[in-house]
Structure 1
Amino acid sequence: MLLVIIITVLALPLNAQILTLQQCIDTAQVHNKNLQIGMNNKALSVQKSKEAKAGLIPKITAITEYKYYTEMPTQLMPLSAFNGPVGKFKETQFGVPHNINANLQLTMPLYNSQIFGAIKTTEIAEELTELQYQKTEEQIFFEISNLYYNAQILNQQLFFIDTNIINTSKLLENIKLLKDQLMVKATDVSKVQLQLEQLNTQREIINSKYEQVMNALKFTMGIPIIQNIQIEQNISFQKSNEYASSVTVDVRITEVQNRLLLNELRTLKRSRIPTLSLFGTYGNTGYGYDEKPNDFLKFYPVGFVGVQLTSTLFNGTITKRKINQKKIEIQNSEIQMNLITEQNTMLIGNAKRQKIVAYKSTETTLEQIKLAKAIYEQTSLQQHEGTATLTDVLLADNSIREAQQAYLSAIIDYLKADLELKKLTGNIGSITIKR
């Protein structure tokens, strides 16, 4: 059954753009600051992944060094090398004062479990960042939808208040005429005037709330607060079908976080495996002597390649303690995953029940509004005929307002329950207004 509330179009600011809910969401996808930060975080995670993979690329380093010896290094020469006694040494100095080295050094990991672990970690972290962006996106959609619905409800309240002000103003005119004819007391006029003033005050309050909600909507959309926009005046909703449940972003985030912890645990265990790397150096070594007539500067090539195997034999059980900590974190992650799933199931059931009750309330209260209006019109006629008192008219008018407020409350409950159900079932991205 389609329920449609036709709301009187309020006076719109000049050049105000009327936006649908979907247009508000589309605008937020472009201008919302939190989504822009999320996009930057996605780009950042891609760069971190590339950085980790760059650890496998050979590294080349250029090293240039110059040394001037003010005192030449002293060496001890065994005298036995010159047929002298064994165990006797002679101090001697070798070398030249000027030493120059210019080398290129190459290092390349052949196997390093930490590098491979870091690559896998950044790949999983990239998935996690994407899911976190989706979560932010869903939250923005939820906030915009909630604000949009609130603004429409406040518009409806203004419409009801304006209608009540018109009716009360007519009643006040009639009561004044009756007072002039000495058919009612002055206190009766005061009662109606008080009610009219209360309605005007209530209208100012609701209008202020509407402006606040619209400012919050524009802020969430990422557009300037001073920009003039309006929302659709018609609230259209229908009893929706069951939403197909899918894995929510929260559950997927927990699953990826669990994979991240498992990968960190594997990396810790593999840190005990030796690392193997290739290294090499090629360059020139120069020697110089600056005392004439024997001064010279000569360069000699030097180069070598090799492999290096590095293994940690004992690090004070630090790795063992880190492994134990990571296992506990994994247990907590699995418990958290089950907790989120169970909580989501419970909340879905609650939202479905609230949605059913709220929809029935909208049907009931809509009929109550029609009945209250009919009673008010009949009571007003009877008051003119002298068969009903002013108190009866005011009570009938109050019944209309109570029915209107109950109807709006039912609509709010329905829209919020429907919105929450979309979020819990992973359908928040399918937000549209049905017409």
Structure 2
Amino acid sequence: MFIQPGRRFVPAVVLALACGIAAAGEPATVIPLDLPAAIALAAERHPALRAAAHEASASAAAVEQAGRLPNPELAYLREGHRAGSRTTTVQVSQPLELGGKRKARIAVAQGAFDLAASEHALRRQALRADVIDAFYTALIAGERVQLAQATVELAGKGLQAADGRVAAGKVSPVEASKARVAHADARAELARAAADLVIARNALGALVGEPLEARELAGGAVDALPPVEALPALLQRAAVALSVRRARQQLTYRQAQADAERAARMPDVTLTIGSQRDDQLAHRQAVVGLAIPLPLFDRNGGNLAAAVARTDGARAELEAAELAAHTGLAAAHLRYGQARGEALLLAQDVVPEARNVHALTLKGFEYGKFTFLDVLDAQRTYFQARARQWQAMLDAWRAHADIERLAGPAQSD
């Protein structure tokens, strides 16, 4: 646990402030949205994921089509128009693919299907990471609104205390002016935090495919980060990361394209079988033909060279993907450890101590032992520590989301 247990749902009054919902009338039934439900909704509704699924379906149909043989051709020929002197021919021509063209074509289509399926899985994994990021951004934005509300309340108490001391003639009216400035600044920070909450909830709503004005976030996990594997284990997973797998399948696809262009250099043969009737001779004779293109001017060299170059490019992209996954996981793991340690230190030591100092300073100000500047300084220190704690928590969750974006979840859901 990194923070002290508190309210796990953003209060209705905070949502009313942040979303502009009136508090009058009977409260509506609210179904809290937790992280697994948000991930499931996004996976079901997000248009980018649906588009990737449709592309995978189209690629599967292309694989089936690639295995089809070329259609034969039926031809009818007639020479002459007078009866008794005409010659009629009926023939069927069948192209025969040589050089393994059909096999190469199937391999290209299969490579495209594997690539589309990998792209779908990659988008699904990236969407999961985006939802994790957006969910805890919204959740912590709600906690910041609560913190800003508490700041306004404490600033109001300080203003009352300052006004009381000014009325008693114990301090200068300047102290009351400083308290009013602090109170106004706290209200401005509350408005800023409320706007950030609206933005964060809208971003999450866009991912899950529904508006979230009337839904609270079930964020029990905000105060307990999930475990992350040790760096050596993460780096081993980098070798089989989806981004690396997609780059490897891209290389396979490009190699299949190069093989298809290489096979295309072999000319196809067209076999013709038919029957010809000569009216003058009054008999029918068989027709057999064989047509072979002569590769004198076009041997498909340019297409083959382009495919080989794209294969070399895909090989370089695979190396870049492996390097990016390795470097990205190492950086995300480091950020996670740093943010987790900072959140733990702030929650266990800094925030409780700052809270006690602020309470003692405010009590001492009421008895004339401290100036209002001391109260403001203690209050600023306390709330800055709280804000740093939430920022560190958010940084840790974002680093965790980056780890899942690169390596995927440690265990499939």
- 2:315 corresponds to which residue? 334
Q: Which amino acid aligns with 1:382?
A: G
Q: Which amino acid aligns with 2:404?
A: K
Report deviation, 1:153. 1.2
* Pairing 1:203-214 to 2, within 5 Å after superposition: 203-214=190-201
- 1:228 corresponds to which residue? 214
Asked if structure 2 preserves the Cα contact closer than 8 Å seen for 1:120 and 1:263, the reply is: yes
Q: Distance in 2 between matches of 1:28 and 1:390?
A: 50
- 1:308 corresponds to which residue? 290
Q: Distance in 1 between matches of 2:203 and 2:287?
A: 66
Q: Distance in 2 between matches of 1:207 and 1:286?
A: 94
Give SS of 1:344's match: helix
Q: 1:25 aligns with which of 36, 39, 51?
A: 39
Q: What are the superposed Cα offsets for residues 170-193 of structure 1, whole Å, 9 maximum, x if unpaired? A: 222222222221222222122112
- 1:383 corresponds to which residue? 365
Q: Distance in 1 between matches of 2:206 and 2:44?
A: 13
Matched, 1:392 2:374: yes
- 1:86 corresponds to which residue? none
Asked if structure 1 preserves the Cα contact closer than 8 Å seen for 2:268 and 2:293, the reply is: yes
Report deviation, 1:2. 5.5
After superposition, the Cα gap between the structure-2 partners of 1:39 and 1:428, relative to the gap in structure 1 and judged at 3 Å, is farther
Q: Distance in 2 between matches of 1:101 and 1:238?
A: 84
Which stretch has the larger CA shift, 179-188 or 226-235?
Answer: 226-235
* Pairing 1:65-214 to 2, within 5 Å after superposition: 95-96=82-83, 105=92, 107=94, 109=96, 111=98, 113-214=100-201
- 2:48 corresponds to which residue? 34
- 2:18 corresponds to which residue? none
So what's the TM-score if we normalise by structure 1? 0.79
Q: Which amino acid aligns with 2:159?
A: L
Q: Which amino acid aligns with 1:10?
A: P
Report deviation, 1:121. 0.4
After superposition, the Cα gap between the structure-2 partners of 1:41 and 1:373, relative to the gap in structure 1 and judged at 3 Å, is same
- 1:292 corresponds to which residue? none
Report the aligned-residue RMSD.
3.2
- 2:351 corresponds to which residue? 369
After superposition, the Cα gap between the structure-2 partners of 1:229 and 1:99, relative to the gap in structure 1 and judged at 3 Å, is farther
* Pairing 1:349-364 to 2, within 5 Å after superposition: 349-364=330-345
Q: Distance in 2 between matches of 1:167 and 1:191?
A: 14
Q: 1:258 aligns with which of 247, 251, 257?
A: 251
Report deviation, 1:16. 3.6
After superposition, the Cα gap between the structure-2 partners of 1:207 and 1:428, relative to the gap in structure 1 and judged at 3 Å, is farther
| Number of residue pairs aligned between Structure 1 and Structure 2 | 389
So what's the TM-score if we normalise by structure 2? 0.83
Report deviation, 1:340. 1.9
Report deviation, 1:154. 0.5
After superposition, the Cα gap between the structure-2 partners of 1:57 and 1:319, relative to the gap in structure 1 and judged at 3 Å, is closer
Higher relative helix content = 2
Q: Which amino acid aligns with 2:401?
A: L
- 1:6 corresponds to which residue? 6
Report deviation, 1:322. 3.1
Q: What are the superposed Cα offsets for residues 110-168 of structure 1, whole Å, 9 maximum, x if unpaired? A: 64633332221001110000001111112211211111111011111111111122222
Q: Which amino acid aligns with 1:329?
A: R
Asked if structure 2 preserves the Cα contact closer than 8 Å seen for 1:239 and 1:359, the reply is: no
- 1:45 corresponds to which residue? 59
Q: 1:417 aligns with which of 396, 399, 409?
A: 399
Q: Which amino acid aligns with 1:170?
A: K
Q: Distance in 1 between matches of 2:135 and 2:92?
A: 64
Gaps of 5+ in 1: 74-93, 288-299
Report deviation, 1:305. 6.8
Report deviation, 1:302. 7.4
Q: Which amino acid aligns with 2:311?
A: I
Q: What are the superposed Cα offsets for residues 380-410 of structure 1, whole Å, 9 maximum, x if unpaired? A: 1211221111111111111112111211221
Q: Which amino acid aligns with 2:181?
A: L
Asked if structure 1 preserves the Cα contact closer than 8 Å seen for 2:277 and 2:285, the reply is: no
Q: Distance in 2 between matches of 1:184 and 1:42?
A: 75
Q: What are the superposed Cα offsets for residues 262-315 of structure 1, whole Å, 9 maximum, x if unpaired? A: 222222222233424444457x9999xxxxxxxxxxxx9979674635244322
Q: Which has the larger radius of gyration?
A: 1
Higher relative strand content = 1
Provide the identity percentage.
14
Report deviation, 1:330. 2.1
Q: What are the superposed Cα offsets for residues 212-270 of structure 1, whole Å, 9 maximum, x if unpaired? A: 221121112223x4763321244232361416443111111111111122222222222
Report deviation, 1:414. 1.1
Q: Which amino acid aligns with 1:21?
A: L
